[in-house]
Structure formats: structure tokens, C-alpha cells
Structure 1
Amino acid sequence: MPSYRVTLAVGALAPGVAPDAVLPAAARLAGERAVVEAQDVRLLRGVPCAVVRYETADDTEAVAVGRHVVAGLRDVVEVRSDVVTRRDGGRWTPIA
């Protein structure tokens, strides 16, 4: 089964939300629709990003999982941008 990931550029947190709550919430949301393989926090060009890697059958499902994660985080954190990518050999390819 193909491996995908959603990368979320994180902005302002909602009042009362701890920074360390964002990644587990994103992984939980992805896990509602897919098998979660990994989760990580990264700095990309100085911007904190939550990254959740998961398995789905195809690109359509992968995009739906990504959108579900973004929608579920709306009340928790400002998602400045998001991208879903697919593992192709040794690289991650953005999908629409």
C-alpha cells in the first residue's frame, strides 16, 4: 500500500491549547481514516510543521485524509498551509 504524508505549517494556537497537543491530534485524526505510520515535528524554512505519515490505497483517499486532518484541527490551531505527498522511491511527490 502506498505511503503518504500530510505536512501542516502551524500558526497560532487556540487559547488553552498546548503546543505539544497539536501533533497527537493530527495523528489521531489521520488514524480515523488511515493507518498512521509515523508522526514528527519539523522546522521548514523557520516555520513549525506537523508531519503525519500514513497508508491509503490511492491518491484520492490520501487527499481525503489530509483534508480531514486540516478540518479537524481548525478549532485547535491555525493551519497556514498544508500539502499531501506520496512516497515515490526515494522522494516525496506532491499530489493534488
Structure 2
Amino acid sequence: MPSFRAVLQITGLRPGNPPERVMQAAQDALASRHLVEATSLDVVRGIPQVTLRFLVEGASDDDEAAQARESALAMHDAVEEVATTGVLRVLRRRRGKWLPV
């Protein structure tokens, strides 16, 4: 099964939402579609970002990439309910490297 990463910048919390709700919203949204293998919260150049690694059911490369993008957008929408966000990136693992989809 192909491995993908969704990386989403977090620029702020919406009122009434604790910080841990951000990762939970992201994970719930992706886990409803795919197996989530790992999650992390990092600060890159002063901007927090969540990263979720997930597997997509095998198909053609284009279909796999489309599924990954669609799922990452669903994750983005779920996180937007609890936080404000910045850039969303979707990456695919190929020959030991993470490449943009």
C-alpha cells in the first residue's frame, strides 16, 4: 500500500478549543478513510504543523494520489473547525524520499 503524508500548518486555535483537539480532528478525519500510521506535531520556522502519515489502498498512481489529496482536504476541513490553518502539503513516499503529490 502506498504511503502518504498530509502536512498542515496551524496558525491559531478557534475559541473554546484546546490544542490537543487539533491533532484529534486531523486524525479522526483521516482515520475514517485510511489507516493512519503515525502522527507528529512540529514547529517549523516558528509555525506549528501537524503531520499524519497514512496508507492508501493500491490502485493506479493517479487514483492513489487523488485519494490522498481528497483525504488531506477532508482533514483540512475538519481541522478548520477547531483551528485556523495555513499551507496544506501532500507527499508520497517513493524510493525512500517524500515527494509532493
TM-score bracket for the superposition, by shorter chain length: over 0.9
- How far apart are 1:51 and its partner, in Å? 0.6
Name the residue aligned to 1:68.
74
Name the residue aligned to 2:97.
91
2:87 maps to a residue whose letter is S
The alignment-based identity, stated in percent, is 29
- Report Cα offsets for 1:58-90 as digits up to 9, x if no partner: 111101110110111222111111001001122
TM-score (norm 1): 0.93
Is 1:26 the equivalent of 2:26?
A: yes
Where in structure 2 are there 5+ consecutive unaligned residues?
Answer: 58-63
1:8 maps to a residue whose letter is L
Q: How many residues align?
A: 95
TM-score (norm 2): 0.89
Q: How does 1:27-46 map to 2 (within 5 A)?
A: 27-46=27-46
Where in structure 1 are there 5+ consecutive unaligned residues?
Answer: none
Please say which structure displays the higher CA radius of gyration.
Answer: 2
Following TM superposition, where does structure 1 have runs of at least 4 consecutive aligned residues deviating by more than 6 angstroms?
Answer: none
RMSD: 0.9
1:80 to 72, 82, 86: 86
- How far apart are 1:21 and its partner, in Å? 1.6
- How far apart are 1:44 and its partner, in Å? 1.5
